[in-house]
A = this chain, B = another copy of it.
Amino acid sequence: MNDSTDVQGRLAEKRFKLTRVGVKGVKKPIVVKRPWGERTLNATIDVFVDLPSDQKGSHMSRNVEVTGELVDKTVREPVEGLENLAASMCESLLERHEYASYSEVDIRSDYFLERESPERKKSLENYQIRAKGEGYRDGSIKKYIGATVIGWTTCPCAMEGVREKFKEKYFGISEEIEEMPVITHNQRNNTTLMMEVPPEKEVEVNDLINIIEDSLSSPTHEILKREDEAKAVIQAHKNPKFVEDVVRDILSKILKKYEDFSPSTHVEVKSESEESIHKHNAVAERVTTFEELRK
């Protein structure tokens, strides 16, 4: 075909720059290599560039070509970390969209890690991981890696309310009850941590998953026989947490673990509990930089 059919390349009538133009929901298998082995992830990918004010359309098929080429390469040459794949894609996008000044790639995937129950029974637990890249025309790239963990929160407030009532009612056991974990509402929680990986630094996504999971009242387990179940319940109730506590505990651990990361390092933490006691959810969130957190 001749150039007259490059409708995207024509002059735009309404001259407005567009922040992001591209494709959303491309599904691809990706082979990832980490120190501990290889994994085939079934990923969902969004790919965007910006569009200058004078160009009618973005050549979106280039986004899918970049995705196809770089992702398919991972079958022969597994990529070390999804965030690095996202960063390479961002570079490649700016090469092919010569008119763009910005590129963005977002990759999400199910992920599995082996875990142990309190009784040391092994199971494969499911997590969600997410990587993001942002490319700029000056050659700089920002990359992010993160995870969402499904866990368990037990409410500290209801526990104190019940303890107070129990102290009155079960007078004889008032001392023991001070140390005994008492009933409260508890629920499924999902918590997301997403953080920037500064240049020259590395972040292992399994560490992020561990940090989130350790900040909940308890992890969840796929298989729990009776003995295991009782122990998990006791553990979760010895460790009551608001969503606010979950977010702060993660922030605290992140600061410590990555203490040499630059002040501008971006971090987002969000914890959402599917309250058993309500029909709505409880949410706590912090979006910030390491600089703010270190104050």
Contacts and interface: CB of A to CB of B under 8 A. Distances in A.
The interface centre, meaning the residue of A1, A41, A156, A184 with most chain B CB atoms within 10 A of its CB, is A1
A182 interface: yes
Interface string A59-86: 0110011001000100000000000000
A33 interface: no
A137 interface: no
A244 B57 contact: yes
Interface in A150-172: 150, 152, 156-158, 160-162, 164-166, 170, 172
A18 interface: yes
Contacts of A208: none
B278 A157 contact: no
A221 B252 contact: no
A8 B227 CA distance: 14
Classify chain A's interface size: 35 or more
Contacts of A156: 7, 57
Interface in A213-262: 220-227, 229-230, 232-234, 236-237, 242-245, 247-249, 251-252
A164 B21 contact: no
A164 B4 contact: yes
A181 interface: yes
A16 B172 contact: no
B150 A251 contact: no
A17 to B, nearest CB: 7
Interface stretch (A92-100, A120-128, A139-147, A194-202): A120-128
A264 interface: no
21 contacts: A1-B227, A7-B156, A7-B242, A8-B242, A20-B283, A22-B282, A23-B280, A23-B282, A26-B279, A56-B245, A72-B124, A158-B229, A161-B233, A162-B233, A165-B234, A185-B186, A187-B274, A220-B277, A224-B278, A229-B277, A232-B277
Instruction: Enumerate the 5 nearest inter-chain pairs by beta-carbon distance, A residue then B residue, closest first.
Output: A161-B230, A14-B248, A27-B126, A173-B173, A7-B157
